[in-house]
Structure 1
Amino acid sequence: MASGDFLLKINARYNLFTKAEKKVADYVLQDPKRVLFLSITDLAEACEVGDTSVFRFCKTMQLQGYQEFKMLLSLSISEDEDSSRIASMLSGRITQEDTLEDVAKKVLQTNINALNETYSLLDFQELSLTIDYMIGAKQIYFFGVGSSLLTAMDAVDKFVRITPKVHNYADAHLQAMAASILSPEDLAFVISYSGATKDTIQVAQQAKKAGARVVCITRFAKSPLTAYSDVVVLCGTNEGPLQGGSTSARISQMLLIDLIYMEYFKRTYDESSANKQKTSGSVLKKLY
């Protein structure tokens, strides 16, 4: 495991933790070197939680126990690394005191982290099921509002080159109406960073009520949107107060769209290749 990867994975899975587990995660991310020399009871006392909360934290991280946790933690820390610098690097938080050079480095690191975190959260079984649903669907509608609408539009822009069954509406009212008349043969692909946007949740509700399958891309595993989703695909990135609307969320979403597109193309190669030739040829005369 490359240096820092395990700490990135903790950061990426942060929203999957319970309240007590988040206390453990916060302590580990703040001072990982110190944690290496703590017993499970010492760490629990430092975090003001019980031993079982530390053990559950390890289980949420998909580890066998505390010793495996310490082993992976030690591998991600070199002897001369400053723990506070690690935490700052991981968060990428921009402050009022940062210089332009600091901002540039943190924006770059935030976007790199978004990709790494998204990769660490990949559930290949869920992704494979998503492709199965897409291939079997009669029609596929990509839904989203705000910046997530841009991701939905980008997804249609990619997929319309290889299949005619993808659609998107920019207007929230049209999205709700379209979702309400989907059939059990259709697929609603709902994109929302927060998973708590009213318009997006309404679309998922309407699609589910109509009998369609629902796939969502979201940051949070536990959100109102996921309650209406058959498949949940998680993207990674955490934005600070000065980073709202940054591209990191869209970058992580587009990584997933690219991955889904490539796997769909691979599984439907003959049809997708033929359609790609047709759609590419249709606009050749429009190019100089």
Structure 2
Amino acid sequence: MEHYEKSIIPLIESVYANLTPLEKTIADFFIHNREEMDFSSRNISQLLYVSEASLSRFSKKCGFKGYREFLFHYRQTFSSSDEPAADDQTKLVLNTYQELLNKTYSLVDIPQMERILKILTTKKRIYVYGRGSSGLAADEMRFRFMRIGLNIVSITDHEMMRMNTVVISNDCAVIGISVSGQTEAVINSLRESKKQGAATILMTSCKEREFQKFCDEVLLFAVKEHLENGKAISPQFPILVMLDLLYSRFLQSDKFRREALHEYTLNVITPVPKDKNGLR
């Protein structure tokens, strides 16, 4: 469980929704392939019944100069590990978690983490928006970061998100959480918050060029749709892993003071035991 590998598969998955049907055929092959083989453009084009030009266009949509560069990175991260037995449900679930962790490791961008950390430490108030399971993750972020001194509020109701826009200013940062990147209430609130001068961060599994127009940072987390046993995994898991990475860096940025705040908060919320007379 301690071995991590860099992989370009999360990059493929982040642009998957923007691919043409033909390009999705190519993406599905590279996402699910587990065998070492001849990956030359000629062989793959014949295997998938696509043109070599289609392979080149697909590679460019994934962020590479062409198929040759894409293949170089794909070969570096290729693994031929055996799949767990189909009837071993425990292994399937645990290996799905492991794959999510590997994908998260591949997506971590340290300079971006530092930029987000700067936003969190310089803005007077942080708002976190999310709906459904993403709303639960937003609440978890508020609970954790509040304990170490961050002025943070989570909002999970779409009407409250709209109303909250009136108090947004350039002293604020707004973090939106949407696994699909299509949660209308969250996306619209980020767009409006940007107009109000706030720093805006979107946490999502989907990479869209449109987000760059109203988001200062788009923090990608691992997606589970293409994992073998994804339905057994909570959709909050990849979000919480990325939040843990942010939390760890935030804590270390002023470790002594933040740990003291955390301890103080725990003491405040822990009930004081009563003596034998019923007094505290």
TM-score range, shorter chain: 0.7 to 0.9
In 2: Cα distance, 1:212 partner to 1:49 partner: 45
Q: What is the Cα-based RMSD across aligned positions, in Å?
A: 3.4
Q: How does 1:242-261 map to 2 (within 5 A)?
A: 247-261=233-247
Residues 1:42 and 2:43 aligned together: yes
Aligned partner of 1:24 among 15, 23, 26 = 26
Secondary structure, counterpart of 2:149 in structure 1:
coil
Per the alignment, do residues 54 and 138 of structure 1 end up closer, same or farther by CA in structure 2, a change over 3 Å counting?
A: same
1:51-90 mapped onto 2 (5 Å cutoff):
51-55=52-56, 57=58, 60=62, 65=69, 68-69=72-73, 71-72=75-76, 76-77=79-80
Partner residue in 1 for 2:278 = none
Q: Distance in 2 between matches of 1:179 and 1:246?
A: 36
What do the CA deviations read for 1:68-110 (whole angstroms, capped 9, x no partner)?
257436x5226xx5xxx5xxx7xxxxxxxx8xx5544433333
Residue pair 1:115, 1:251 contacting (<8 A) in 2 also: no
Match of 1:228 in 2: 214
Deviations 1:134-188 (A, max 9, x none): 1111100111010100000000110111114111233321222113321111100
Instruction: Give the whole-Å Cα distance in 1 for the aligned partners of 2:209 and 2:55.
Output: 24
CA contact (8 A) 1:121 1:236 kept: yes
Unaligned 5+ segments in structure 1 are 90-97
Q: In structure 2, how many angstroms separate the alpha carbons of the residues matched to 1:244 and 1:30?
A: 14
Residues 154/234 of structure 1: CA separation in 2 closer, same or farther (3 Å cut): same
Closer/same/farther in 2, CA of residues 151 and 246 from structure 1, 3 Å limit = farther
- Distance change >3 Å, CA 39–CA 225, structure 1 → 2: closer
Could you say which residue in structure 2 is the equivalent of 1:135?
121
Counterparts of 1:48 and 1:24, CA distance in 2: 10
148-157 or 58-67: bigger deviation: 58-67
Aligned to 2:13: 14
Residue 130 of structure 1, CA deviation: 0.7
Q: Is the 8 A contact 1:159 1:261 kept in 2?
A: yes
User: Given that residues 201 and 224 in structure 1 are in contact (C-alpha distance below 8 angstroms), is that contact kept between their aligned partners in structure 2?
Assistant: no
After superposition, the C-alpha distances for 1:230-267 in whole angstroms (9 at most, x for unaligned) are 10111112237998875442111001111111101111
Shift of residue 229, structure 1, vs aligned partner:
1.5
Give distance in 2, aligned partners of 1:112 and 1:131.
Answer: 26
Superposition deviation, residue 66 in structure 1: 6.1
Alignment of 1:52-201 (within 5 A): 52-55=53-56, 57=58, 60=62, 65=69, 68-69=72-73, 71-72=75-76, 76-77=79-80, 101-201=87-187
| Deviation, structure 1 residue 67 | 5.9
Using the alignment, how far apart are the partners of 1:239 and 1:30 within structure 2? Answer: 12
Amino acid at match of 1:15: S
Distance 1:237 1:67 in 2: 22
SS in 2 for 1:215: strand
1:198 to 1:279, Cα distance in 2 relative to 1, 3 A: same
Match of 2:170, SS state, is coil
TM-score normalized with structure 2 length: 0.79
* Alpha-carbon spacing, 1:222–1:70, altered in 2? closer, same or farther (3 Å): closer
**Mind listing any 5+ residue stretches in structure 2 that lack a counterpart?**
275-280
The answer (yes or no) to whether the contact 2:96–2:227 under 8 Å persists in 1 is no
* Aligned-residue offset at 1:26: 2.0
SS across alignment from 2:50: coil
Partners of 2:151 and 2:241 in 1: CA distance: 22
